[in-house]
Structure formats: C-alpha cells, structure tokens
Amino acid sequence: MKNFEDVAGLLGIVFGMIGAMIKGIKQKYPAMTTFLGMVIAGILTYATTGLIEIFYADMPTKVVILISFIVGWVANEITAYLDRFVGDVYAIFMDYLRSKIKKK
C-alpha cells in the first residue's frame, strides 16, 4: 500500500460499511439494525485493517478491500443477533415487571 497510506483507513471504512449495508438489504433487516451494523462495521474495519497492517505493512489494496468487505458483512450479522437478543431480553423484563405490578 505504497500510495494509499493516507486513504487506506478511509477506504477500509467505506468498503466495510458497504458490505454491512449489502448484508442488511439482502437479509431484509430493519433500517435501524442495518444502520447500526454499518457504523459498527466501519469501526471494526478500521481497527482490523490497522491491526493487520502492524504485522503486514505492504498489504495490497485489493486485500484491504476484501478484508473490509468481509468484516462489514460479519459485523452486520453480529449486530442483527445482538439486536434480537436485546429485544428478547427487553420483552422478558417487561413481562416480568407487568406480572409484579399485577400481583400488587
């Protein structure tokens, strides 16, 4: 990445967010889940490419794009599972509170 030192992070963020957006559209996730996945994908992509560049300084641009896209894709999947988990925990907690209030 001789000519892309300054834009490699930005390039990674963009392609990570594109990967997350495509995953969200393909799986028909709600818009908020897709957007949250895109933000998380951007952050994780920037961190992942930075970590890989520590060990492999001469990484080609094609590898940065591939890694960014894959990290974005996986980040959106993780975000969707976390969104479902938080929604289920919220529903259980609200049912528990309603049952406690009705008993009194």
Per-residue pLDDT tens digits for 74-102: 888 888 888 889 989 999 999 999 998 88
Structural domain spans, the chain: 8-103
CB 76 within 8 A of CB 58: no
Burial label, 41 (beta-carbon count in 10 A; 0-12, 13-18, 19+): buried
pTM of the model: 0.73
In 3D, which of 45, 23, 43, 44 has the Cα closest to residue 34? Answer: 23
